[in-house]
Amino acid sequence: MSWYKLTYSRGSSAKDPILEVNASSYNLYGGDNTISIPLTYNGDGAITVSSSDTSIATVSYNNGNIIVTYVASGSVTVTVQASKTSKFKEKQITFGVECIKSTANITLSTSTLSIAGATGSGTFTFSYTGDGAISVTSSATGVATVSRSGTTVTVTYVNAGSSTITVSLGNGTKYAAISKTCAVTCSRSNRTVTLSKTSASLTGVSPSTTLTITFTGDGNLDYASTNTGVANVSVNKRTTGATATITRAGNGSCTVNFSLPQTNKWNASGNKGVSVSCSSGSITFTIQNRRYDSSANNWFYATFSVTYGTSFKNTGQINASSWQGYGSYSTYPISSVWFVPNTTNATYNLSGYGTYTYAGRLYATNTVQGTTYTFFSYVIFTSSGGVVNPDTVITNGVRYTGHSG
């Protein structure tokens, strides 16, 4: 009996593994940065993953998940490879990933902004999501200019009008460009003009007055008299705090107006006026003649009403309203009285009584038996308080300077 040895050869028993993902393509947005894709695999081989373009997306594998990381917008193919083992065959799958820029976002603290010329500027803030360059622009730089510090936007007034301020995020790597706008209105401010006085009465005795003008805003002060034949005006400067001098030029009434023009930031003020009344003015006083009547043993006195003006001689503006005399002199009428005003503004110190302004000279004549005499001549002084009352003669500003006849 013969024996035979049989050898049995069996074919490979390695299986075809399950290797799959749940879609054939995926979208990855830049704002999300990564996407995790579950991998189904029932084998025991090593898993490797790769990207067809790592400048668009990179890929890694971790605990059953394929991690795709956004780099730039575009498309890639991801390859998943399972290696061969004794039990499972090698297997490979691929899927597509579309890398897409996310939509950026900007949120403004306000969509409208009003700026007054007096204020000069206004601000608003913004928040954003995105990675593009930030810029802020003004649609009308002749109305408003704009600047940015971090997420604070400052809008500066230039002129009255409207402008659109645009806050923009440029195209980034992960986010698309976006912009938001704020509507800005720039308006001129109303200004105030303040006068230290609003009325004045000017006479020959007090021919001028001063006042102070203050105002808000810029621009040069304008000033004018409605009748320069009655009063004139001058100022020491045209900025706020100016001092104006109003000077009598004649008799009557007028208004001296002060105003500010419209500027880029401020509305015109309109007229702010001083009501001015101008007259010659008058003083009444008694003058001691200093002419002694020995027969009557008395002095002569005369009361005069003096009206200030440009020229008084023989105008009748100075009148002897009463004349007291004794003896033969009482019958001599005053034929002419006049006042000649001084124009040099000279000042004199009167015997220790202070400094006075020489106002002019008062004359009177009378006629005796057909001959006209200058009966007396007086110098009239004024002080800072006005015309000096000459009732006490020298000590109050009237000096007797002689007579004839």
| 267-324 residue pLDDT tens | 999 999 999 998 865 544 334 333 444 444 444 444 444 444 333 332 233 333 333 3
Structure tokens belonging to residue 124: 């608003």
Q: Which of 111, 146, 141, 106 is nearest to 127 (CA)?
A: 106
Residue 337 has pLDDT above 60, yes or no: no
pLDDT single digits (tens) 186-239: 999 999 999 999 999 987 656 899 999 999 999 999 999 999 999 999 999 999
Summarize the confidence of residues 240-264 as an average pLDDT.
Answer: 94
CA separation for the pair 45, 51 (Å, rounded): 20
For residues 312-341, one letter each, b for 16 or more C-beta atoms within 10 angstroms of the residue's C-beta and e for the rest, the string is: beeeebbebeebebeeebeebebebbbbee
Q: How far apart are CA 171 and CA 88, in angstroms?
A: 48
Give the pLDDT band of residue 148 (cuts 50, 70, 90): very high
Q: How confident is the model at residue 95 (pLDDT cuts 50, 70, 90)?
A: very high
- The residue with greater pLDDT, 9 or 316, is 9
Distance in angstroms (rounded) separating the CA atoms of residues 68 and 56: 10
- pLDDT above 70 as % of the chain: 65
Structure-token pair, residue 205:
């005795």
d(CA 276, CA 209): 10
Pairwise pLDDT comparison (154 vs 288), residue with the higher score: 154
d(CA 12, CA 78): 30
Residue 157 has pLDDT above 90, yes or no: yes
pLDDT higher at 399 or 120: 120
The pLDDT, as a whole number, for residue 58 is 97
- Looking at residue 169, its amino acid is L
CA-wise closest residue to 365 among 354, 377, 373, 357: 373
Rounded mean pLDDT, 124-138? 96
**Beta carbons of 49 and 78 less than 8 angstroms apart:** yes
Tens of pLDDT, residue by residue over 342-389, are 544 444 444 444 444 555 555 555 555 555 555 444 455 444 444 433
pLDDT at 5: 54
In the numeric block, which tokens belong to residue 44? 């025991």
Least confident of 4-8, 93-97, 289-293: 289-293
Q: In this structure, what token pair is assigned to residue 181?
A: 């706008």
Three-state DSSP state, 331: helix
Using the Cα atoms of residue 150, residue 153, residue 157 and residue 161 in order, give the sign of their dihedral: positive
**How many angstroms separate the CA atoms of 129 and 10, rounded?**
64
Rounded Cα gap, residues 252 and 259, in angstroms? 23
* Contact (Cβ atoms closer than 8 angstroms) between residue 321 and residue 282: no
Name the burial class of residue 179, with classes exposed (0-12), middle (13-18) and buried (19+) by CB atoms within 10 angstroms of its CB.
middle
Residues 127-153: what's their mean pLDDT?
97
Least confident interval from 81-85, 161-165, 374-378: 374-378
3-state secondary structure of 8: coil
User: Helix, strand, or coil here: 329?
Assistant: helix
pLDDT for the residue 3: 52
